[in-house]
Structure 1
Amino acid sequence: MKRKEYLLRSILFVPTYKEKFIQKAIHTGADALILDLEDSVPEVYKQKGREIIKKYIDKGVFKNLQVFVRLNPIESKILLKDLKYVLHEDIDGFMLTKIRTAEDMIYYDKLITQLEIDKNIEAGHFTFMPLIETTLAIMNAYHIASASDRTIALTFGGEDFLNDLEGLHGNPPRCFDYPRAYIALAARAAGIKAIDTPYLAVNDTKGFIKEESVSFEMGFSGCLLLHPKQIALANQCFVPSPEEVQKSREIIKSIEEANKRGSGVAMLENKMIGPPMKKRAEKVLRIIELIEQKVKLEVMHEER
């Protein structure tokens, strides 16, 4: 099946054991929501979280949103219980936790394939966003990224990685330099997106913009978020500049004009437009198109 294109600039974590968190999250305008059943949900409330997700699925609340569920890891022994409540067409996919090797991804792929068959859900419907949050996962990042066709992004879990590394969280966090670079490389080599770790200081606007602007330069498509106030900032950071958008339009226009003239060579500002420039321009304009589509859907939703 042809994989849906996802806009993933801002991905908001939503603890699921309180309905008010979900009620607020669905109106925030985040590109995607992560309904969390793992770290942010105390053990005694996990069943409540599952039931609340199921309640909102049954209401059709998630139908026109991009929604993923962060599952408890394989070793938790409650993974199948999570899946029992969240397997539905209105859920786009799953954030997979404690992924260490490609074998973990293959396990999930086979499991979800069988569950899709059992639930009569279209084959390949559910997508994966594995969390890269250990030193072993960093070293296996490309193999993890390419192990399943369901995988749409690698996501960086910086704090768990830091704990595994036994490193220090400096300012800026130098321990993140290598894993960020490697995750971006591994994801892009596998043809998927890279998503940055959450920025913990939710009230530090300048710090957020500084750090995530660098992540965008490194090849990341977006970042995980802990608070709705970070959504507009992420949407601002992970988007091409107006100047690049305009330049991209000029590049495509020059190519189209050259084609009309029967010329295989397009020029812009007395410079030849090479294939890499064309590809970059197409990617930039596709991002803008996805953003415009999202805005239209939001307007339609409000009018209803």
Structure 2
Amino acid sequence: MQSPLDRANSAPPVPARPSGPTWLVTPGITPARFDTAVGSGAEVVLLDLEDSVPTRSKADARAVVLAFAGARTREVSGPLLGVRINAVDGAEGLRDLAAMGEEGLWPDLVVVPKVESGREIEAVVQAARGAQAAPKVWALIESPRGVVGLADIVRTPDLSGVLFGAADYAAAAGCQLTSRAMWYPRAQLVTAAAAAGIPAVDSPFFSLDDQDGLRRDAMDAVELGFAGKVAVHPRQLSVIAQAFAPSPRELEAARAVLDAASAVAKAGGVITTADGGMVGPPLVEAARAVVRRAGHRPAVTTTSVTKAS
């Protein structure tokens, strides 16, 4: 009988799939919850080997996480499977990478914690060079030094995205874990990611019983430009999904902009109006983003509309 490692190694690589706005993090020390996480509806399930696993349990958690993730990533359907490894400047992080490389059990994506320079990302990318299907590598930014170093970090080749770790950031900065205190580092993260053409995903909201607070925090993330948000419990997922989905009014307004842009493009490509507002390339692109969030792909392009002279 094949072991889980043998079955995972013998399976064909999975086709690449895009991530979405709902991420769910699950402690790597609780394998009984893995299937529940996969069936939760989250678009990315992140199995954690770092903060949620005590030192004495690292080896056991590593074995079950890699066996599970290595098998599940070869499934065509279901969420993306990710693993948050330990920091690569320490022994446990190096053991995580060595185990993935030796067993060939690379998940869909690897989240690298406590990133403060591009070197940490380069180490993980290099370790995954021989994988059948190389994982996407994401940087978790959770310190003032990491925020200051964002310009260097986001330029690292093969970096797929960045996540924000608010709790560690607040502890390191000596500030409170509030929306106002986190506004600056979150904005910095989104700006750097946008400049590099990669997505940014927001930190979890840690008060499990405060759904209104979660909703406000998720709407802040949408307003800032985050592509998604991490949940720490499945019951947070629906609130996050609703926040990142455009409202019917937003969708109607976006479609009106795109209809106006299409009409004016056919008539010669000059700037126009929709619902009393000016319509030009930036607004058309914003409308396209709203419609994409709703799962539609409009045909109009921003190059079809030119600014007024």
Is structure 2 residue 83 aligned with structure 1 residue 75? no
Q: Distance in 2 between matches of 1:196 and 1:165?
A: 18
Give 2:167's aligned residue: 159
- What TM-score results when the alignment is normalised by the length of structure 1? 0.82
**Secondary structure of 2:191's match?**
helix
Q: Distance in 2 between matches of 1:184 and 1:66?
A: 22
- Name the amino acid aligned to 1:146: R
Q: Determine if contact 2:73/2:81 at 8 Å carries over to the other structure.
A: no
**Secondary structure of 1:94's match?**
strand
- Name the amino acid aligned to 2:90: S
- What TM-score results when the alignment is normalised by the length of structure 2? 0.81
Give 2:269's aligned residue: 264
Shift of 1:187: 1.3
Give 2:21's aligned residue: 9
Is structure 2 residue 116 aligned with structure 1 residue 116? no
Q: Distance in 2 between matches of 1:76 and 1:290?
A: 44
| TM-aligned CA distance change 1:53 to 1:62, over 3 Å | farther
Q: Determine if contact 1:134/1:160 at 8 Å carries over to the other structure.
A: yes
Q: Determine if contact 2:151/2:192 at 8 Å carries over to the other structure.
A: yes
- Name the amino acid aligned to 2:135: F
Structure 1 runs, 4 residues or longer, greater than 6 Å off: none
Q: Distance in 1 between matches of 2:50 and 2:209?
A: 24
Give 1:139's aligned residue: 148
| TM-aligned CA distance change 1:54 to 1:108, over 3 Å | closer
| TM-aligned CA distance change 1:33 to 1:86, over 3 Å | farther
Give 1:210's aligned residue: 216
| TM-aligned CA distance change 1:180 to 1:11, over 3 Å | same
Give 1:301's aligned residue: none
- Name the amino acid aligned to 2:258: I
Q: Distance in 2 between matches of 1:10 and 1:239?
A: 11
Q: Determine if contact 2:106/2:135 at 8 Å carries over to the other structure.
A: no
Q: Distance in 1 between matches of 2:239 and 2:204?
A: 12
Q: Distance in 1 between matches of 2:296 and 2:254?
A: 15
Give 2:201's aligned residue: 195
Q: Distance in 2 between matches of 1:202 and 1:288?
A: 27
Alignment of 1:13-92 (within 5 A): 13-57=25-69, 59-60=71-72, 63=75, 64=77, 65-86=79-100, 91-92=107-108
**Secondary structure of 1:235's match?**
helix
Aligned to 1:93, which of 93, 97, 109? 109
Aligned to 2:293, which of 274, 287, 296? 287
Q: Determine if contact 1:194/1:220 at 8 Å carries over to the other structure.
A: yes
Q: Distance in 2 between matches of 1:290 and 1:32?
A: 21
Kindly report the root-mean-square deviation, in angstroms, between the aligned alpha carbons of the 2 structures. 2.6
Give 2:138's aligned residue: 129
- Name the amino acid aligned to 1:187: A
**Secondary structure of 1:116's match?**
coil
Alignment of 1:217-256 (within 5 A): 217-256=223-262
Shift of 1:159: 1.1
